[in-house]
């Protein structure tokens, strides 16, 4: 993770259709708090773009969109 102002760049591997590629998401902290076991939990929302062709994904149904 790399902090950039109010956002974090989170990099990891994404596997779709049996193909794994590195991706980076821009994440923003939306909340945090103590958990019942004495630790701290945090929630983030993240955005990023991928090219489905790079994951061998071919469909005649048009683009795939998730989230709101």
pLDDT top residue among 66 and 12: 12
Phi, psi at 9, each rounded to 5°:
-95, 115
Residue range 18-67, pLDDT digits in tens? 899 999 999 999 999 999 999 999 999 999 998 888 888 776 655 666 65
Query: What's the confidence (pLDDT) of residue 52?
Result: 85
pTM, full prediction? 0.62
pLDDT of residue 37: 97
Q: What is the 3-state secondary structure (H, E, C) of 12-33?
A: EEEEECCEEEEEEEEEEEEEEE
DSSP 67: -
CA distance 39 to 17: 35
């Amino acid at each position: 993770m790399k902090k950039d102002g109010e956002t974090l760049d989170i990099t990891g591997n994404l596997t779709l259709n049996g193909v794994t590629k590195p991706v980076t998401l821009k994440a923003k902290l939306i909340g945090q708090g103590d958990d019942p076991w004495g630790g701290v939990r945090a929630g983030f929302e993240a955005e990023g773009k991928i090219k489905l062709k790079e994951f061998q994904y071919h469909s005649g149904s048009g683009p795939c969109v998730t989230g709101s």
